[in-house]
């Protein structure tokens, strides 16, 4: 039996709901910076990104779903040292994403692997999962994305060059903690050597491989 013609999904009501959703996020949300991931080179065998670059950022308001604080395991002392595993969930309006990001990048929706900078705590989060059907088709239309994010873990194969001082400073701080600048040297085939050249130079003062067997007491 067909639906009642007097209670169908009308564009006018959908637009009102969408406008109210955007207004709520802009009123109760926080200003974030959305940073798309650009893949410089890829390992087709393992399906992994050898090197990536983050070279742009877009101001976009988002609603922080976890209002009581960061979720996740928090600060954990493990066999690998101190690990920070804060998580948070963010809600962003589809229409606002299209207006602020899609028109410049052509990107249809937020993607897993992209970054979100939270200026309030100066924390960089990585998107792990994007839920695009929650809430589920209110009045026959989808209005928001729900982003599940976790603290971003930086490595030498990634480069932060967004032009935003607070974001790029994160990479500089990590380099200073390591004691040396992390350099990414692109080779002919597009792979990266990272700090290998630096380590090869430093270990000359630590190990002496001039002997036949440096681990033998008899010099064999």
The pLDDT, as a whole number, for residue 207 is 62
Is the pLDDT higher at 66 or at 11?
Answer: 11
The pLDDT, as a whole number, for residue 182 is 45
Per-residue CA distances from 113 to 53, 162, 179 (Å)? 11, 16, 28
pLDDT per residue as tens digits for the range 145-180? 999 999 998 887 888 999 999 999 988 887 766 554
Beta pairing partners, 17: none
The domain spans of the chain are: 5-164
pLDDT per residue as tens digits for the range 47-64? 777 788 999 999 999 999
CA distance 147 to 35: 13
């Amino acid at each position: 039996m067909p639906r009642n013609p007097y209670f169908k999904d009308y564009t006018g009501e959908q637009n009102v709901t969408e406008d109210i959703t955007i207004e709520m996020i802009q009123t109760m949300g926080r200003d974030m910076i959305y940073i798309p991931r650009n893949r410089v080179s890829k390992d087709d065998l393992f399906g992994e990104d050898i090197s990536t670059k983050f070279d742009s950022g877009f101001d976009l308001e988002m609603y922080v779903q976890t209002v009581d604080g960061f979720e996740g395991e928090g600060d954990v002392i493990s066999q690998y040292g101190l690990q920070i595993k804060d998580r948070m969930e963010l809600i962003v309006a589809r229409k606002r994403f299209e207006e602020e990001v899609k028109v410049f990048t052509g990107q249809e929706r937020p993607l897993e692997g992209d970054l979100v900078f939270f200026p309030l705590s100066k924390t960089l989060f990585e998107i792990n999962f994007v839920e695009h059907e929650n809430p589920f088709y209110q009045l026959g239309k989808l209005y928001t994305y729900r982003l599940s994010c976790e603290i971003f873990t930086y490595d030498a194969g990634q480069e932060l060059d967004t032009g935003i001082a607070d974001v790029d400073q994160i990479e500089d701080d990590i380099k200073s903690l390591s004691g040396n600048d992390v350099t990414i040297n692109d080779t002919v085939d597009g792979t990266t050597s990272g700090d290998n050249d630096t380590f090869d130079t430093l270990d000359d003062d630590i190990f002496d491989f001039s002997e036949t067997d440096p681990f033998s007491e008899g010099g064999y």
